Amino acid sequence: MPNKRQACGQAGHTTMLLGAAKRLAAAPDFAGTVHFIFQPAEEGGGGGKAMIDDGLFEKFPCDAVFAIHNKPGLPLGMIATKPGPLLAAADRWDLRITGKGGHAAHPHLSLDPLIVASNLVLSLQTIVSRNMDPFASSVVTVGFVKGGSAYNVIPTDAHVGGTTRTTTPEARKLIEARIREICEGAATMYGVKIDVEYRYGYPPTINNAQRAAFAIDVAAGVCGPHGVRDNVQASMGAEDFSYMLEKVPGAMVWLGNGGEDGNGAGLHNSRYDFNDMAIPFGVSFFVNTVERFLGDK
């Protein structure tokens, strides 16, 4: 589409995989079969799940899966990952408040949904600060509050929407339960109706410990021992490669895109610029991963 961009580097990731496929096809120095998975619609479309539902791993069985995503802020060419959760689950929710509209000059004759929405925004923040283990990674973020269109009218309805990010199924269920309980209590306290819609999105991206260690060992051969990190801090972003990791043991790694001095733009920023110099590192990682993994069989 004209004047549109994803600003996430997926074209660069595709180039890395194509480069690795070309290199391995020209010199297949391994014993086994390699499947190159070009995963579509990662940004909200859930392409990874669609491929699995279509029988990806039944049609193309795999003993391991590996993926790369570029990472602004890491030095160019550095490869980093960790065992366990690397990225979070991403869910969305909508709270629709129905009160009683009226004239702004006579608020006592109405049930103001904006007052309810304002208090919900604050109350939802207590879930992480007071219900979650301080050492557990969780986020509750209100993305928007909508309601009303006139200066002197109390609206009938208000709409609050947002996202939650968690790294464990237990935290996911707890946050959903608390959102529903808070809304139930607010509806009773203010005398309004609150409809809650909670939609589960991508699950957490959980690296297999053995595969993550293997990936870092391979990366050290590509980038040198000082060019890898095996204990990178997890991100509360999300990735639908998570669906593949639920089916096959594997690991996602981050590949440094530069900008560690703080001057580079992050993913999904209008100033983001994929660093083409990262491509050879990605190609080498994929090639060496295949040759090492299948060469040991």
pLDDT at 259: 84
- Please, where are the H alpha helices in the chain? 10-26, 47-53, 56-59, 113-126, 169-190, 209-223, 242-247, 279-295
Backbone dihedral angles phi then psi of residue 270, each to the nearest 5 degrees: -65, -20
User: Which residues 6+ apart lie within 8 Å of 186 measured at CB?
Assistant: 116, 119, 120, 123, 192, 194
Q: Domains of the chain: which residue ranges?
A: 10-27+36-87+204-295, 89-199
Architecture category of domain 89-199 in CATH:
2-Layer Sandwich (3.30)
Instruction: Confirm if 192 and 98 have CB atoms less than 8 A apart.
Output: yes
Which one of 3.30.360.10, 3.40.630.10, 3.30.70.240, 3.50.50.60 gives the CATH number of domain 10-27+36-87+204-295?
3.40.630.10
pLDDT at 249: 98
Identical fold between 10-27+36-87+204-295 and 89-199: no
For 32, which DSSP code?
S
Rounded CA gap, 189 and 111, in Å?
Answer: 11
Cross-strand bridge partners of residue 196: 95
Residue linked to tokens 């309980």:
181
Backbone dihedral angles phi then psi of residue 20, each to the nearest 5 degrees: -65, -40
Structure tokens at 101: 């509209």
- pLDDT by residue for the chain (297 residues), tens only, comes to 576 666 687 888 999 999 999 999 999 989 999 999 998 877 777 889 999 999 999 999 999 999 999 999 999 999 999 999 999 999 999 999 999 999 999 999 999 999 999 999 999 999 999 999 998 899 999 999 999 999 999 999 999 999 999 999 999 999 999 999 999 999 999 999 999 999 999 999 999 999 999 999 999 999 999 999 999 999 999 999 999 999 999 999 999 999 877 777 777 777 888 899 999 999 999 999 999 999 854
